[in-house]
Amino acid sequence: QVQLVQSGAEVKKPGASVKISCKTSGYSFTRDYLYWVRQAPGQGLEWMGVINPSTGYADYAQNFQGRLTMTRDTSTSTVHMELSSLKSDDTAIYYCAKGGDGSGLAYFQNWGQGTLVTVSS
Amino acid sequence: EIVLTQSPGTLSLSPGERATLSCRASQSVSSNYLAWYQQRPGQAPRLLIYGASSRATGIPDRFSGSGSGTDFTLTISRLEPEDFAVYYCQQYGSSRRTFGQGTKVEIK
């Protein structure tokens, strides 16, 4: 079965960077796009960006341009999300999600368990 | 960017009752690429509906989606205890995917 397993919780100081991994299994890694979504405490869902695991091409939401980088490692079927210049309002649970149909415009069919990132001095 | 507005913010109902959740888009959603997700406390979101009306694998048939263009609805025909949760709509028809702010379905 499809699984997305994310790395563990992180605590970072303002101005630092965080890198979260999402290891996938149970399907062909290069077939479906992978997305990142975050959720601040008590808030809704915010789409951050998408990566095509086949080509490595990534597209980011306007809010994160310039400080968000998504990469993939096809040898381990893993995608990474790095967010830099962290601020306190980046404190959130970060989710990876797998697209449903192999296209760049897809619903989010499977989700990782989430990674809590806390930004605090 | 397409803005999705969900209503109501909170829906207070009893088990067995029917729930009707609305999602309105600021412009037409391309190809009705509209999805609904359920999120229970402490859990990741779960896909319920995609393409406005197609149920995801394993989703009970008490969940149904309808609508097109700018107006979409998620209906839960008879609420079960495990259905009390927050529900989000999402459009994925544009490169700038967006979510609604969520509707909480709570026990009355």
Closest C-alpha to B47, from B22, B20, B74, B71: B74
Q: What is the pLDDT of residue B103?
A: 98
Could you read off the pLDDT of A21-30 as tens digits, one per residue? 999 999 999 9
Could you read off the pLDDT of A56-96 as tens digits, one per residue? 999 999 999 899 999 999 999 999 999 999 999 999 999 99
**Residue A104 confidence class, pLDDT cut points 50, 70, 90:** confident
One DSSP character per residue, B3-62 reads -EEEE-SEEEE-TT--EEEEEEESSPPGGG-EEEEEE-TTS--EEEEETTTEEPTT--TT
Q: What is the pLDDT of residue A65?
A: 87
Tokens 């048939």, located at residue? B61
**3-class state of residue A90 by DSSP:** helix
Q: What is the mean pLDDT of chain B?
A: 97
Cβ separation of A112 and B44 shorter than 8 Å?
Answer: yes
Q: How close A61 comes to chain B (CA, Å)?
A: 7
Could you read off the pLDDT of B54-82 as tens digits, one per residue? 999 999 999 999 999 999 999 999 999 99
Q: Which of B45, B93, B95 sits opposite A59 (nearest CB)?
A: B95
Span A110-121, average pLDDT: 98
